[in-house]
Structure 1
Amino acid sequence: MKTIFVSLTGKTNPSVFNCYSISEWFYFSPNYLNFHLLKENSPSTAKYNDIGEILQEKALELKNSYIEVIGRLSTRYSKKYPLAWWTSMVAERNEMSTHAFLTVCYYNIFSDIYENENFQNRSLIVVESISLYHLILNQLRKRYKVVTLGKPYFLTWTFLRPKIATVYRIIKFLSWAFSGTLQQISNLYSTSDSKMIFIRTWISDKTISADGKLQDVYFPGLCEYLEKEGYEVVFIPNFYNLTLSTKEIQKRINKCKYQFFIPENYLIWKDYFKILVVLIYQVVISRLDDVKHRGKDISKILTETQRTGMFSSYIFIAQAFALRNLSKKDFKIKSFIYTFENMFPEKPLSYTVKEYFPGVNSIGFQHSVLYPLQTCLYPAAQEWKDMPLPDRIVCSGKFFLDIYLKHGAPRERFVIGPALRFNNLISKCEKDQGGSSLKVFMKNRILIVLPLAEPEALELAIKSSGAIKLLADNRELKIGLKPHPMMPVRNLETIKTFFNDIQCDMAIVDKPMDDVLPQYSLLITMASGVIFDGMIEGLPVIRVGRSSSLNFDPADYLEDNPYDFRAQTVEQLNALICKLLLFEDEERIGLVHYGRKFVKESFVPVNENTLQSFISVN
């Protein structure tokens, strides 16, 4: 009988390969840093079975059926516990923060290997998810001798983290409920007979200055247009990455010329109790039983995911109760406008507008790029009927509308509007029209654009630094590292360590992308919309894929792309760098033309006609 070893990610170290004479190993975890350490220190006798490409193919195969399964769960749970269900992790399906769908894909890949009897004797399986760990053990024990490494699993960080996180969130909720945060900001008042339009957006230290000037990065220019059209604009702030004190934030908001709707000002003690009841309901429905997907029971995976998010959504549930109280006031409100990514922060707002603001429009804005494997972006057929969604969704262009329609979205729900966040691309194409042959292209300069999410940023840093080190001579290179503007400093410091021993000029870049790109000749990135910026500058873009997690690549939707440069392994990335550093100017001009043509056909310009889509939605 063959022996199979199974270990949790946090309890696996390189010594296991020699200690247990491992012949081959599999890695089912998005933790690339741990994978890198294992792979770098594994002996040549232990063959690694790369699941990277198989994982992406399996995800595309399973995506629609998985969305439909969650859609049926939504029908079951949302009727009795609407806010509790719609603010839960399983209902949200956000694969950038939780990994339910990824774990389902792992389970299917494992099952394929198991059913085909492709495990060698003394194989090692490394797993992150505890639910998947148990599912794998139960299946393997029917056919093999199974040895678990690193027991007891209940002492691992993987097991303890969600419990500790839940306790921490409960403490945060109680602290928030009793602290009266931001209650020093004035209540709303009507300054004229004009109708109000509420914009819910994300606010950080960088978006509201010390003198109260607001720079909304999600709806740039929209509030000025609405004011010009005679509407009174009110902001509903979602705060993120705040380093300033509450007192300082209050000062800045009070200096702002726009009014802010602060939920705490509209809550009474009964509302806090009701919020707590919703959160308790979320705990009650956190155990999901007998959920089948493609003949496999995925209940444990979904239950694990559901419990990781308990007590995390109270701020957004509070917005719902506060807005319900606002609906009793005598304000003339035309509409609520907010970003549309179909994530849980949006659901309470959509639900409340529908329930308590009759005749008031809710308008979602598809503000960012779309990723094929980000399952939350694509509601199931029945969810378009049952899920709290905006009355209308403004798309940034026909390219994005077509993607939604291919996923079964109802055409009448969508309007095409301005690409507010991509206006710099459109302006650049119009400004440089006809002048591409005069462009001066740089040589031997590589810009690495790091995404916000830590796992993706680390993986990109490790792979790109490894590929550059493999170059025969990299002393003439200039490397620029451009972190996401919201990346924590500690993450950037960790990333820099992977480039310490590279023998070339390297710098951290913090200037705007429009100023940076012309200074480089090659762009390397992962999970980023910056690929479109690179194309119109004539920079070939290498899109680095993930080795053991889902790719979030907006360029996967580009059909017949002649500049489709993708790499998953360090060796593939090295080969592409060598090739594209030699890209001729004539080839770059061809790339510029392709990029500009794509931008013009895909993104809608920002002007008074297109901005009308945020007002005239009927």
Structure 2
Amino acid sequence: MKIIFLNDLRKIPTIQKQLFLKKSIFINLENFYMNEELDANIKQLRINDLLSKDEMSQFKNFFLQTLLNLSQQINAPWWAAYNFTSKNPLSSPLYQNMLYLMCINKIMASNTAEAIFIYCSDNNFINILKKTFHKKALIINKTKRSFSLYNRFKCAPILTNVIFLIRILRRMFLSKKNLSFPQNTKSATIIKSLILPSSFQKNEEYRDLYFHNLLENTPNLSQVLILVNVLNHFKSYLSKIKHSNHSGHQIYPLEYFLTVKDIVNLFLNQIYEYFHVFIKYQNSIPNISFENFNLKTTLIHTLYKELNSNQWLKNLTFFYATKNLSQEIKIKKFIYPFENRSSERLCIKALKHYSPNTSIEGYQHASIHQEHLNFIMLQDEHKITPLPHKIWTTGTWPKEYFIQKGNFPKNLLGIGGALRQNFTEQTQAKKIKKYKIFTIGIVLASGEFEYIGLISFLNQISALKQYRIIIRPHPEISFDVIRPHFKHLNFNFTIDGEIPIEEFLNKIDLIVYASTTVSFEAIFKGIPALCIHYENCLNLDPLFKNNDLKWDIFKPSDFIKSIDEIENLNEEIITKRTQQVRTFISNYFSPMPMELKQNFLL
């Protein structure tokens, strides 16, 4: 068997001739939809073609059990700093890499082809596959490689991590120089949040991404301190933070609470962790087998790559900043957007050790999709996982999901209500007797990865030319970031990301999406939705539990068929389905009671 990696389809005919291949299989592991015409001797497969629903379910259970076993077996102080330990497939490539390897092994075991062409330009995955299959197959790498100075620089992890620590040190000095901590603050409620462009309004007033409605209803802001993670443009945001602090807020980047000693410890901890990866973990981690296929090599490689990526160090900064803050003042309550990520767990670990009387509360702030494995606990897993004392959900449905599907303890959960979403009976549904689709709204979210995947899928649908298309990018990510990836698009469109969401929804007859929660707002108004499943194996649809006004699109030919089905619905069915949708969403996002809103931060 031959496994051939490439990122240029034009090479396939030449490779076929050189290797005398008569029967091959082609799979695409990139994040865009591919529907190219290939040679008749090449069978094109998607990951979803290779695995049944039962097999996918078995693999997810295996993945969850594997990580639980590792957490129980490995007694290392900073194990939780690895992103893959949170189990979220979007935080680490471990889940997808394991799944891809298993599928490739399944193809090889079937002996139905002489070669497997894999469209992939991820050199990390190529290296993993080489180590895994070097005894079973001839690995041929025909990808175009970039030998830029930047790529060579990334291959020097010690150097990049030292530079990262220097950046943290610079941020620390800038924070302490520009901001001052009020001496009269002896105790406070801490909000952990994030700084993005939308965190500041045009007048530069601060608007918290998660807890703005709570802060509006808090009479004494001096009792609330906001600990923020600034992703980039640190110096620019620091001046805005300084302006907001003069207006009554208390906002501090997490680097403000770091010390030089902490940064030295970060470096020493990482050196010590390299020792763990190269020596201890190699011997202490047992073989990880799924259907007699060993995946230990993948795990070790992921450990090494995550340790080199700076994210491991970044997660540790949350621990040290929370620890120092808890020693600076008495933290009455620590509130954060609950996603069960590594950085959250390290904050909890610091609080439970250094500030044991602090009430730690997580707020489930957004929708849930099937790939949120970080929201699933196996039996007794909650006993070894750093969790808050209380998790507030946006409504009844998420609470029941956490209990029944996620296996979270009942006493850990409470219904808080929606802070960022507003679904009430006063929001009128469109009065529709018959659907007629003229204008389609395409809503993008989740970053460049989704932009490319969704647009490349839609670019295969020639019938889109007959509709008016409005694209609404995510507020933080310009549509321009993906223009270099497409020589041309096969449909005309306008971009309308500045207008209020209500105005946008009033313009469209159909919404097209992959993961955005705008889909909830659309169907709540009676607007039908098409969910595009462009990804090979991840289902990011937040509406996966409701299909009343939503149609799943797995291949381009499904698109027009679904529109025909929508336009053939009669008034009785439309009314019934709209009522069912509104009931479902009202249970998903219920309004937060005013009494709870006023006391949440106290």
Q: TM-score range by the shorter chain?
A: 0.7 to 0.9
For the 8 Å contact 2:211–2:419, the answer to whether it is kept is: yes
Quick check: 1:542 aligned with 2:530? yes
Residue identity opposite 1:514 in structure 2: E
Where structure 2 has 5 or more consecutive residues not aligned to the other structure, the ranges are none
1:395 Cα deviation (Å)? 1.1
CA distance in 1, matches of 2:509, 2:23: 43
CA contact 2:189–2:223 (8 Å) conserved in 1: yes
The equivalent residue for 1:354 is 352
SS of equivalent residue, structure 2 residue 174? coil
Aligned to 1:274: 265
Are the aligned partners of 2:370 and 2:541 in contact in 1 as well (CA < 8 Å)? yes
Question: Separation in 1 of the partners of 2:155 and 2:365?
Answer: 34
Look up the SS of the partner of 1:420 in the other structure: coil
Matched with 1:124 is: 117
Q: Which residues in structure 2 correspond to 1:25-36 (within 5 Å)?
A: 25-27=25-27, 29=29, 31-33=30-32, 36=34
What CA distance in whole angstroms lies between the structure 2 residues aligned with 1:590 and 1:498?
Answer: 41
The match for 2:587 among 595, 601, 611 is: 601
3-state SS in 1 of match to 2:360: strand
The match for 1:216 is: 208
Q: How does 1:443-458 map to 2 (within 5 A)?
A: 443-458=437-452
| Residue identity in the other structure for 1:64 | N
Partner SS for 1:457: helix
Alpha-carbon distance, 1:94 to partner? 2.8
State the secondary structure of the residue aligned to 2:191.
Answer: strand
Residue number in structure 1 paired with 2:411: 412
Letter in 2 for 1:599: I
Give per-residue Cα distances to partners, 1:238-297, cap 9 Å, x unaligned. Answer: 113548635534543443411123444433322221122223333333454434143432
Do structure 1's residue 314 and structure 2's residue 347 form an aligned pair? no
Question: 1:341 maps to which residue?
Answer: 339
Q: How far did residue 157 of structure 1 move?
A: 12
Go from structure 1 to structure 2 and tell me whether the alpha carbon gap of 1:318 and 1:112 turns closer, same or farther (over 3 Å shift).
closer
Contact 1:536 1:591 in 2 (8 A): no
Q: What residue number does 1:99 align with? A: 93
Task: State whether residues 198 and 209 of structure 2, in contact with CA within 8 Å, keep that contact through their aligned partners in structure 1.
Answer: no
SS at match of 1:227: coil
519, 523, 528: which one aligns with 2:516: 528
Aligned: 1:181 with 2:146 = no
Distance 1:272 1:249, change over 3 A: same
The CA distance in 1 between the partners of 2:347 and 2:141, in whole Å, is: 46
Whether 1:465 aligns to 2:459 is: yes
2:559 is aligned with 1:565: no
Q: How far apart are 1:221 and its partner, in Å?
A: 0.8
Q: Which residue of 2 aligns with 1:371?
A: 369
Deviation at 1:42, TM superposition (A): 2.5
The match for 2:276 is 285
* From 302, 306, 310, the counterpart of 1:305: 302
Does the Cα contact within 8 Å between 1:7 and 1:149 map onto a contact in 2? yes
Deviations 1:319-355 (A, max 9, x none): 32233233333x3431000011111221221111111
* 1:550 aligned counterpart, secondary structure: coil
Aligned-pair distance for 1:106? Answer: 1.8
Which of 54, 58, 63 is the aligned partner of 1:61? 58
User: Secondary structure in 2 aligned to 1:533?
Assistant: helix
Classify 1:412/1:270 alpha carbon distance in 2 versus 1 (closer, same or farther; 3 Å): same
User: Quick one: distance in 1 between partners of 2:181 and 2:287?
Assistant: 46
Identity, in percent, stands at 18
The alignment's C-alpha RMSD in Å is 3.3
Q: Secondary structure at the match of 2:311?
A: coil
Instruction: Check the 8 A contact 2:153/2:160 in 1, yes or no.
Output: no
Cross-structure match for 2:470: 480
Offset at residue 480 of structure 1 (A): 0.6
Amino acid at match of 1:299: K
Distance in 2 (CA, whole Å) between partners of 1:532 and 1:218 is 18
Question: Structure 2 matches for 1:554-593, cutoff 5 A?
Answer: 554-558=542-546, 561-580=547-566, 587-593=573-579
d(CA) in 1 for partners of 2:194 and 2:163? 24
CA distance in 2 between partners of 1:489 and 1:205 (Å) = 16
Distance 1:441 1:47, change over 3 A: closer
- AA of the residue aligned to 1:26: F
Q: Go from structure 1 to structure 2 and tell me whether the alpha carbon gap of 1:263 and 1:169 turns closer, same or farther (over 3 Å shift).
A: same
Native 8 Å contact 1:522 1:580 kept in 2? no
Task: State the Cα distance separating 1:156 from its structure 2 match.
Answer: 11
Match of 2:507 in 1: 519
Deviation, 1:131, is: 4.9
Q: Which residue of 2 aligns with 1:233?
A: 224
The one-letter amino acid of 2:263's match is Y
Change (3 A) 1:281 1:443: same
- Deviation at 1:382? 4.5
Tell me, in whole angstroms, the C-alpha distance in 1 between the residues paired with 2:510 and 2:435. Answer: 10
Distance of 2:299 and 2:88 partners within structure 1:
13
Judge which range, 594-603 or 351-360, deviates more.
Answer: 594-603
Cα distance change of structure 1 residues 487 and 338 upon mapping to structure 2, 3 Å threshold? same
1:212/1:188 Cα in 2 relative to 1: closer, same or farther (>3 Å)?
A: farther
Query: C-alpha offsets along residues 442-466 of structure 1, whole Å, 9 cap, x if unaligned?
Result: 7411111112232222111011132
Question: SS where residue 538 of structure 2 aligns?
Answer: coil
- Give me the TM-score of the superposition, normalised by structure 2: 0.87
Structure 1: distance between partners of 2:153 and 2:457: 28
Residue by residue, what CA displacement relative to the aligned partner does 1:189-235 show, whole Å, maximum 9, x if unpaired?
Answer: 36578x5111011112321246552111212311233436x971110
Amino acid of the structure 2 residue aligned with 1:273: V
Tell whether the 8 Å contact from 1:292 to 1:299 is kept in structure 2 after alignment.
Answer: yes
Change (3 A) 1:366 1:88: same
Residues 132 and 549 of structure 1, relative CA distance in 2, 3 Å threshold: farther
The alpha-carbon distance between structure 1 residues 140 and 328, as it changes in their structure 2 partners (threshold 3 A), is closer
What is aligned with 1:45?
41
C-alpha spacing 1:282/1:246, structure 2 compared with 1 (3 Å)? farther
Measure, in 2, the Cα distance between the counterparts of 1:534 and 1:22: 49
Q: Distance in 1 between matches of 2:2 and 2:237?
A: 51
Taking the aligned partners of 2:566 and 2:91, their CA distance within structure 1 comes to 33
Aligned mates of 1:156, 1:319 — CA distance in 2: 33
Contact 2:26 2:42 in 1 (8 A): no
Q: Is the contact between residue 4 and residue 141 of structure 2 (CA under 8 Å) also seen in structure 1?
A: yes
Q: String of CA shifts for 1:364-418, please: whole Å, max 9, x gaps.
A: 1111111212322324445412222212111111211121112221112111111
8 Å contact from structure 1 (residues 531, 541) kept in 2: yes
